[in-house]
Amino acid sequence: MARIAGALPFAFDFDPAATALIVIDMQRDFVEPGGFGAALGNDVTPLQAIVPATARLIGAARAAGLPVIHTRECHRPDLSDCPPAKLNRGAPSLRIGDPGPMGRILIAGERGAEIVPELAPAPGETVIDKPGKGAFHATPLSQVLQDLGTRSLIFAGVTTEVCVQTTMREANDRGFECLLAEDATESYFPAFKAATLEMIRAQGAIVGWTATVDQIAEVLGG
């Protein structure tokens, strides 16, 4: 067993042999200028700023032999998996499926839906395309983790309060112990990130734990 003594709200114990890293939606449409996130009027600079820390976390996980799983929020070209309740939210200048600077917005196979080059999946790493906010909904993620014998999950990615938190809650409900890397996750809204970190670790880690990339990498030997 390994222990991250400085994790919050208290030490996080886990078996590296039964742990996977899940990197949520570090896609060009969310992180880079000209993508969907920017079209919604958001400043993408904070999301860009976590790329180096996320890369370090991925490197530490790979070096320690942890499976690295990447997710991408994207839809079929005919939008048959994007309900109106999602498609019509907000008032962006571009909507899901519309032509954008990096191809059709959040459509599988388009340039904008791809993971940023700095965090590109290595050969053989699992990439989960998800139509919803949570990575378990309408995807094979549960089976992938079962096949790996996973019991604990480390999370990174964006945005903290939406897809990251949703997936952590889904994982917690499925019995996984969950840890979020505080400096490898971000929101367009700083207050939302701060509140989410507090919610996750409230009431004795009701959803999970948080720790820094340095703390995690040190325990993983990176």
- Catalytic positions are 25, 130, 163
Alpha-carbon distances of 140 from 70, 130, 147, rounded to whole Å: 13, 9, 11
Residue type, 152: S
CA distance 163 to 159: 6
Tokens (6 digits) for 164: 């990251």
CA distance 74 to 128: 10
Contacts of 124 (CB under 8 A, 6+ apart): none
In degrees to the nearest 10, what's the CA dihedral of 142, 83, 162, 157? 60
